[in-house]
Amino acid sequence: MRDFKAPLRDIEFALFEVFHFEEHYAQYCPSLDRDLTKALLDESARFSEDVLAPLSAVGDIEGCRLENGQVITPTGFKAAYQRYCDAGWPSLARSVEFGGQGLPQSLGLVVNELSATANYAWTMYPGLSQGAMHTIESHGSDEQKQTYLPALISGQWTGTMCLTEAHCGTDLGLLKTKATPLGDGRYSLSGTKIFISSGDHDLAENIVHIVLARLPDAPAGTKGLSLFIVPKFSIHADGSLGERNHVNCGSLEHKMGIHGNATCLLNFEGAIGTLLGEPHKGLNLMFTFMNLARLGAALQGLAHAELGFQKSLKYSQDRLQGRSLSGVKNPNGSADPIIVHPDVRRMLMTQKAMAEGMRMMAYYAAKRVDIAQLGQGENLCQSALDMLSVITPIAKGFMTELGFESANLALQCFGGHGYIKEWGVEQNLRDCRIASLYEGTTGVQALDLLGRKILLSNGKLLGKFAECIQQFCLDSTNPPELSPYIESLARLEKEWLVITANIGRRAQNNADEVGAASVDYLMYCGYIFMGYLWARAAKTASLKLAAGTHEPDFYNAKLTTARFYFERILPRTLSLAATINSGAENLMSLDADHFLF
């Protein structure tokens, strides 16, 4: 049961009906009308369903292997990547100046959603290249752009992000990789990086590593980090490849999931690279890559939720087990399908509400990425950036946590069969688990959100987000049937501001109050954010039904799912508010030596 069907109708609902991307694209990319957008998504869906999805199990079973210093990807991965490049997908949302198609980043995100749901391990190879391109385009010299961007944009080369070392993950101030100037504008890099996704492979002819390292005169800590471009093969002036650079894959990690993607230990042994941007500004520049990667990780939560939901829904419709307590539903069969049982419905409705809610969350963020990059006027761009500074850690933390919960519910729907490989749901669960770990764990996202974004801005950034909810609640065009949702959102918006202020006051006396509240606070924010989006979806569906539609079942399903979310999922904020308000003392009072006796 490895099939995948692209959820195009729901994608179109979110894009065109809830968020009005047709008007958005008319403003920022007039050539991209609704018909062209749908045609591109249809083609991406075919590639994802027909080419990538069948390779997902192959990648899981075969994994990658290291032979004579070269990583070999699973059967079919290389051919699929060539088809992907031949179709022009890597260049979709990249600069026309260097060979890209110049379409908005938001469209690239939707295309990535489809491939990620079909085969996340494969999607990581071209996915990381997008971050490398974006970083070089944002901070590289003209020479670096001309050298690297055309081949990256075509897919001829791929890119990576090299941060982590064995002794430092989140605390990059401990990083030891050294970059020694050679006196001719080049640098010799020495050190070892671990957990490098797509760090080596046989899909492309060259790999461009974006590497954090420390110059000889660098100050201690994160202020002493610089960013470098280090290619796997050296590059001649005419763009042709030269000799192998001194960066090698020392080993492959043996992982819980995403076996089809090569997670490498990379040894830099005098590897030649060039400085990207200014010295000692590497960490700031790296966040260009990191923020894009965090939205990509958020998308992984959506991908695994959608895939698990599709599999468990089909199984629940087909699997006969027991009889409905409210009366036989399948009189001609030996038993009723398990979808009639309330607890199975609970699991399916939770998955549906989460997957469709996360899709709206991802597209809401993607629209602001477009505005930040393409918007006319400093105020408009800054407003989008301010919103993204809050949305990004929420999306990354919340969506990856919900993605794992949803994938876990999918397995539960299968009962014992879910624990067996042939159905694909246990792979989906294993593949999903990494999402809340890399690009900053949920705890790191939560501290970034509450500490850096909310409290350090004195609530200014939160106030802008809360204002969006206020405006929606006060909108005179809201249909009467939305009243229960409006009341819940209005109450939570006020509570949100009070809870945030209380944390800030407690933190003035005890800095641990921020860390103690942070993860629960992030999840609390996520549920409110998703509630706001489900209310918008319910409004859209209500207005469509009132106007008359040939799809009443689709829109009624939206209203039913919104009701489920508000009555069954959003009340989680009640317990989160209680734990946030309980403070740090119940976490920190037990002496570290007294956990075990």
334 phi, psi to nearest 5 deg: -75, -20
CA neighbor of 427 nearest in space, from 572, 333, 307, 563: 307
Mean of pLDDT over the chain? 95
Span 580-592, mean pLDDT? 95
Query: Which residue would you say has higher pLDDT here, 130 or 2?
Result: 130
Q: How far apart, in whole angstroms, are the C-alpha atoms of residue 187 and residue 228?
A: 9
Q: How far is CA 596 from CA 584, 590, 591, in A?
A: 21, 11, 10
Query: Which residue would you say has higher pLDDT here, 38 or 221?
Result: 38
210 bridge partner residues: 161, 229
**What single string gives the DSSP state of each residue in 519-537?**
HHHHHHHHHHHHHHHHHHH
Query: Please, what sign has the CA dihedral across residues 317, 321, 327, 328?
Result: positive
Task: Using the predicted structure, report yes or no on whether residue 242 has a pLDDT greater than 70.
Answer: yes
Confidence of residue 95 (pLDDT cuts 50, 70, 90): very high
- The number of beta carbons lying within 10 Å of the beta carbon of residue 491 is 12
Contact 188, 211 (CB under 8 A): no
pLDDT of residue 378: 85
pLDDT of residue 456: 94
Task: Using the predicted structure, report yes or no on whether residue 550 has a pLDDT greater than 80.
Answer: yes
Contact 298, 439 (CB under 8 A): no
Span 40-58, mean pLDDT? 98
pLDDT of residue 169: 76
Contact 247, 264 (CB under 8 A): no
Confidence of residue 283 (pLDDT cuts 50, 70, 90): confident
Contact 210, 134 (CB under 8 A): no
Span 564-574, mean pLDDT? 98
Q: How far apart, in whole angstroms, are the C-alpha atoms of residue 192 and residue 179?
A: 12
Q: What percent of the chain has pLDDT over 70?
A: 100
DSSP letter for 165, please.
B
pLDDT of residue 171: 81
CA neighbor of 576 nearest in space, from 460, 495, 489, 511: 495
Task: Using the predicted structure, report yes or no on whether residue 2 has a pLDDT greater than 80.
Answer: no
Contact 575, 494 (CB under 8 A): no
pLDDT in tens, 16-34: 999 999 999 999 999 999 9
Angle of helix 425-432 relative to helix 53-62, nearest 10 degrees, comes to 70
Residue type, 8: L
DSSP letter for 178, please.
E
pLDDT of residue 286: 82
Which tokens go with 314?
A: 């089909």
DSSP letter for 96, please.
G
In the residue annotation, 306 being an active-site residue is answered as: no
551 phi, psi to nearest 5 deg: -120, 55
Task: Using the predicted structure, report yes or no on whether residue 287 has a pLDDT greater than 90.
Answer: no
pLDDT in tens, 203-232: 999 999 999 999 999 998 889 999 999 999
pLDDT in tens, 398-444: 999 999 999 999 999 999 999 999 999 999 999 999 999 988 999 99
146 phi, psi to nearest 5 deg: -65, -35
228 bridge partner residues: 211, 275
pLDDT of residue 166: 93
Give the 3-state secondary structure of 466-501.
HHHHHHHHCCCCCCHHHHHHHHHHHHHHHHHHHHHH
Q: How far apart, in whole angstroms, are the C-alpha atoms of residue 16 and residue 32?
A: 13
Task: Using the predicted structure, report yes or no on whether residue 162 has a pLDDT greater than 70.
Answer: yes
244 bridge partner residues: 233
Task: Using the predicted structure, report yes or no on whether residue 1 has a pLDDT greater than 60.
Answer: no
Confidence of residue 375 (pLDDT cuts 50, 70, 90): confident
Task: Using the predicted structure, report yes or no on whether residue 172 has a pLDDT greater than 90.
Answer: no
**What single string gives the DSSP state of each residue in 193-260?**
EEEEET-S-SSSSEEEEEEEEE-TTPPSGGGGEEEEEEESEEE-TTS-EEEEPSEEEEEE---SS-TT
251 phi, psi to nearest 5 deg: -170, 165
Q: Which residues of 446-459 are buried (b: 16+ CB within 10 A; e: fewer)?
A: bbbbbbebbbeeee
Strand 65-67 to 70-72 pairing? antiparallel
Which tokens go with 149?
A: 């961007």
pLDDT of residue 201: 98
pLDDT of residue 300: 96
**What single string gives the DSSP state of each residue in 274-306?**
EEESSTT-HHHHHHHHHHHHHHHHHHHHHHHHH
339 phi, psi to nearest 5 deg: -65, -15
Q: What percent of the chain has pLDDT over 90?
A: 92
DSSP H stretches of helix in 329-459: 342-374, 378-413, 425-432, 442-447
Catalytic residue among 401, 439, 493, 513: 439
Task: Using the predicted structure, report yes or no on whether residue 291 has a pLDDT greater than 90.
Answer: no
